[in-house]
């Protein structure tokens, strides 16, 4: 099949047929030749891309290239032979059977077509022969190399025309080579005849192959050899209807039943596909509706937040409700009770109808909201609490102050005693731990750390005792005043 093969294609074990079908289009591949091996036989499948059909053969006999070359005394094979596609020769494929015609068409489409009026003979270096045996229904595939040599020339002259010059050391004159035909082996016996001698329409590569001269075409087998038996023909790429089977023959009723089952299977598959597409469309619509609802909700939330921010910063010039107009008198009365003086006229101005103006009312309402936020209690008198407590005499607050002062004055002896006990105890503990043999145990080290920390803490006790040493004038803790209603 050279040179029209995908030699650079990398194949992995996990690759399936669908993977190769996917890359066949970009690579320009039109046929697949697949060999499979089973415990009983070797099979050969020929796929036509992209839509089939598929031919399945059984390989009854085969010989590799190395086997064919080893059986020949002189083989002829070089790289230049594979630079052009071979010449396909089909034998005995003119039968009326449909499967035979299909095989011939498939084999012809595997190789590029040749225009006999424009083809160059120098490009034809190989030949593929496919012969069909009607008795055994087997295909014989052979691969040959072509060689064209001139005829009507003596053997000695042919020796001189060859690329490798003969050995003339035993000859005295060149005429002896032409007259006596010496130095020729018996294996070079010519078998040319009418079956392979023709007149060349073009000059062919090689010495002596001139146009309109007689030349002989010789074939040298390259290999491999294949003997194939057609098993079945299928539609598609190995998964369609069986058009022909050499071993299984079905009646017309069985064929119709099989077609009905296949149509039902295709109908169910199409129905499932339509259902899946409908589900996908429905989910897409739901997703779009949810997205629109989400966007609308976000817009409403932003508008609500904007309205709330606007309502927090009210305009003092906006008129209040009529029900709230009567609150100005209460505010003026509250001002009299809190301050003990009459309010200025500018603080609570009234309209011509006797009401408070909207501007002053809005200003005072703003002040009232600020007072409510900081929760300032309304005092009933301007007299300080401390002076009231002195005037009223000893109360519960004074008793708590006296008891608190007595407790703090009795605290300093306890601190001094705690300091002495801590210094003596921790010092004795450190002295005992230091006298133990080294290395020290982990528990000993931990106890030493605890004693050291306690000793450092005890050093702060003298300063604390000096702070609490009497006489001291302590203040009772301040208690927040009780809020009173309006």
Rounded to 5 degrees, what angle do the CA atoms 470, 387, 393 make?
Answer: 70
The alpha helices in 83-223, defined as continuous H runs, are 98-110, 155-161, 174-180
> Chain centroid to CA 195: how far?
65
Mean pLDDT, residues 179-186 taken together: 50
What predicted TM-score, i.e. pTM, was given to this entire model?
A: 0.51
- What is the predicted pLDDT for the residue at 128? 94
Backbone angles phi, psi at 62, to 5 degrees: -160, 155
Q: What whole-number percentage of the chain has pLDDT above 70?
A: 72
Q: Is pLDDT at 177 greater than 70 in this prediction? A: no
- What is the predicted pLDDT for the residue at 371? 52
Model confidence at 460, pLDDT cuts 50, 70, 90, reads confident
Which one has a higher pLDDT value, 184 or 422? Answer: 422
Sign of the Cα pseudo-torsion (203, 206, 210, 212, in order): negative
Model confidence at 203, pLDDT cuts 50, 70, 90, reads confident
Model confidence at 389, pLDDT cuts 50, 70, 90, reads very low
Q: State the DSSP code for 482.
A: P
Q: Is 34 helix (H, G, I), strand (E, B) or coil?
A: strand
Mean pLDDT, residues 230-237 taken together: 90
Is the preceding peptide bond at 464 cis, omega within 30 degrees of 0?
no
CB-CB neighbours of 476 under 10 Å: 14
Q: Is pLDDT at 52 greater than 70 in this prediction? A: yes
Q: Where are the domains of the chain?
A: 17-151+192-249, 250-313, 322-374, 399-468
How, if at all, do strands 126-133 and 87-91 pair?
parallel
Beta carbons of 386 and 344 less than 8 angstroms apart: no
- What is the predicted pLDDT for the residue at 274? 95
- What is the predicted pLDDT for the residue at 230? 94
**What does 365-392 look like in DSSP terms, one character per residue?**
HHHHHHHHHHT----S-SS-HHHHHHHH
Beta carbons of 63 and 223 less than 8 angstroms apart: yes
Closest CA to 3 of 65, 80, 83: 83
Model confidence at 63, pLDDT cuts 50, 70, 90, reads very high
Model confidence at 18, pLDDT cuts 50, 70, 90, reads confident
pLDDT tens, position by position, 412-421: 788 888 888 8
């Amino acid at each position: 099949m050279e040179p029209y093969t995908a030699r650079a294609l990398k194949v992995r074990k996990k690759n399936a047929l669908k993977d190769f079908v996917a890359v066949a289009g970009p690579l320009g591949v039109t046929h697949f030749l697949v060999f499979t091996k089973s415990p009983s036989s070797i099979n050969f499948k020929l796929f036509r891309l992209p839509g089939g059909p598929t031919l399945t053969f059984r390989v009854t006999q085969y010989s590799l290239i190395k086997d064919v070359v080893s059986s020949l005394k002189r083989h002829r094979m070089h790289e230049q032979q594979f630079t052009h596609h071979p010449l396909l020769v089909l034998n005995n494929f003119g039968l009326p059977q449909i499967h035979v015609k299909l095989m011939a068409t498939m084999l012809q489409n595997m190789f590029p077509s040749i225009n006999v009026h424009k083809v160059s003979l120098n490009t034809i270096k190989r030949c593929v022969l496919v012969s069909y045996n009607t008795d055994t229904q087997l295909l014989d595939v052979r691969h040959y190399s072509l060689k064209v040599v001139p005829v009507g020339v003596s053997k000695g002259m042919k020796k001189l025309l060859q690329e490798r010059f003969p050995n003339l050391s035993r000859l005295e004159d060149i005429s002896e080579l032409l007259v006596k035909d010496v130095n020729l082996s018996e294996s070079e016996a010519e078998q040319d005849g009418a079956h392979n001698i023709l007149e060349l329409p073009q000059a062919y590569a090689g010495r002596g192959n001139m146009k309109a001269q007689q030349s002989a075409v010789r074939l040298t087998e390259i290999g491999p050899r294949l003997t194939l038996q057609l098993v079945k023909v299928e539609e598609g790429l190995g998964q369609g209807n069986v058009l022909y089977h050499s071993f299984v023959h079905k009646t017309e009723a069985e064929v119709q039943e099989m077609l009905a089952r296949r149509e039902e299977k295709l109908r169910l598959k199409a129905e499932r596909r339509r259902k899946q597409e409908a589900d996908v469309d429905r989910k897409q619509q739901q997703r779009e509706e949810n997205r629109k609802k989400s966007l609308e909700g976000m817009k409403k939330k932003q508008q609500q937040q904007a309205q709330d921010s606007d309502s927090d910063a009210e305009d003092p010039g906006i008129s209040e409700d009529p029900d709230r107009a009567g609150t100005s008198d209460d505010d003026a009365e509250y001002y009299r009770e809190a301050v003990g003086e009459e309010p200025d006229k500018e603080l609570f101005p009234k309209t011509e109808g006797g009401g408070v103006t909207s501007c002053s009312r809005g200003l005072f309402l703003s002040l009232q909201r600020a007072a409510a936020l900081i929760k300032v209690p309304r005092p009933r008198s301007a007299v300080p609490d401390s002076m009231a407590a002195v005037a009223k005499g000893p109360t519960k607050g004074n008793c708590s102050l006296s008891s608190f002062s007595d407790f703090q004055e009795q605290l300093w002896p306890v601190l001094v005693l705690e300091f002495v006990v801590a210094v003596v105890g921790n010092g004795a503990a450190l002295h005992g731990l230091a006298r133990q043999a080294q290395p020290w145990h982990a528990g000993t080290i931990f106890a030493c750390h605890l004693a050291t920390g306690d000793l450092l803490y005890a050093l702060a006790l003298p300063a604390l005792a000096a702070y609490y040493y009497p006489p001291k004038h302590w203040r009772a803790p301040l208690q927040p005043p009780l809020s009173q209603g309006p």
